[in-house]
Homo-oligomer: A and B are copies of this chain.
Amino acid sequence: MVEKGKRSYGQFCALARSLDVVGDRWTLLIVRELLPGPMRYTELKTALDGIATNLLAERLKSLEANGIVERRLEDAGVGYALTPWGAGLREPMEALGRWGVPLLATGQGDDVFRPRWLTMALPALMRGATASPPVELGIETDGFLLSLRIDENGPSASVPDQRPASVLTAVPDVVVALATGAITVEQALAAGEFEGDANVLRAAFAG
């Protein structure tokens, strides 16, 4: 008779314990959505196309109970944000994403793409790149603006408070192609796929 509502692997192993907590379906994708910043319930619902509303509610409750997500009552409504520990999932998630890059080669198919995902994908794929002095530029795709920064500590992405000095505008396909290595920066620049400061882009992607 195990306590209902909890299915555990029953193993004294950090990986198994982690999977007990974030191994359920949709859970890590919810965390991925929250990595760039807090989101509302309905934002999550639409971003994670296909998730059932009861599942989203249950996962959020579970994540909150486990100290991974914080539920905040803002004046605008209810906001969900990662706790510091929850934000620590960035590392393993980036690593898993890097491992899975070959799986993107099979083509996009009917799969949906959201620019927000680039905030995790771009730093993960550029891991190891450094730059001094730091390079910072905005990338705007599909109306979503993210800031990509590379310094001595490596690349990082965030949602900027104010518009960065240099902003590149591109269709998602091109950014994805760059991120997956399907095309090079030089090819993108030569094709005129970007509007903005090409030198900053070159510096960023060249590390």
A15-B112 contact in complex given A21-B103, A92-B92, A102-B85, C-beta closer than 8 Å: no
Q: Could you mark each residue 91-110 of chain A with 1 if its beta carbon is under 8 Å from any beta carbon of chain B, else 0?
A: 11101111111111000101
Contact: A95 with B97, CB < 8 Å?
no
Query: Least Cβ distance of A156 to chain B in Å?
Result: 17
Contact: B14 with A110, CB < 8 Å?
no
Contact: A113 with B12, CB < 8 Å?
yes
Q: Which of A73-105 contact B (CB under 8 A)?
A: 85, 88-89, 91-93, 95-104
Contact of A12 among B23, B92, B95, B108 (CB under 8 A): B108
Contact: A14 with B100, CB < 8 Å?
yes
Using CB atoms, name the residue of chain B closest to A20: B103
Complex contacts, A10 vs chain B, CB 8 Å: 49-50, 110-112
Query: Least Cβ distance of A18 to chain B in Å?
Result: 3
Contact: B14 with A111, CB < 8 Å?
no
Contact: A19 with B11, CB < 8 Å?
no
Complex contacts, A113 vs chain B, CB 8 Å: 11-13
Q: Among the interface residues A20, A32, A92, which one has the most CB atoms of the partner chain B within 10 A?
A: A92
Contact: B98 with A95, CB < 8 Å?
no
Interface check A144, CB cutoff 8 A: no
Kindly state the separation between the CA atoms of A9 and B50 in the bound complex, as whole angstroms.
8
Contact: A14 with B92, CB < 8 Å?
no
Q: Among the interface residues A8, A21, A93, A95, which one has the most CB atoms of the partner chain B within 10 A?
A: A95
Using CB atoms and an 8 Å cutoff, list the residues of chain A in contact with chain B: 8-21, 23, 25, 28-29, 32, 49-50, 85, 88-89, 91-93, 95-104, 108, 110-114, 117, 120-121, 124, 176
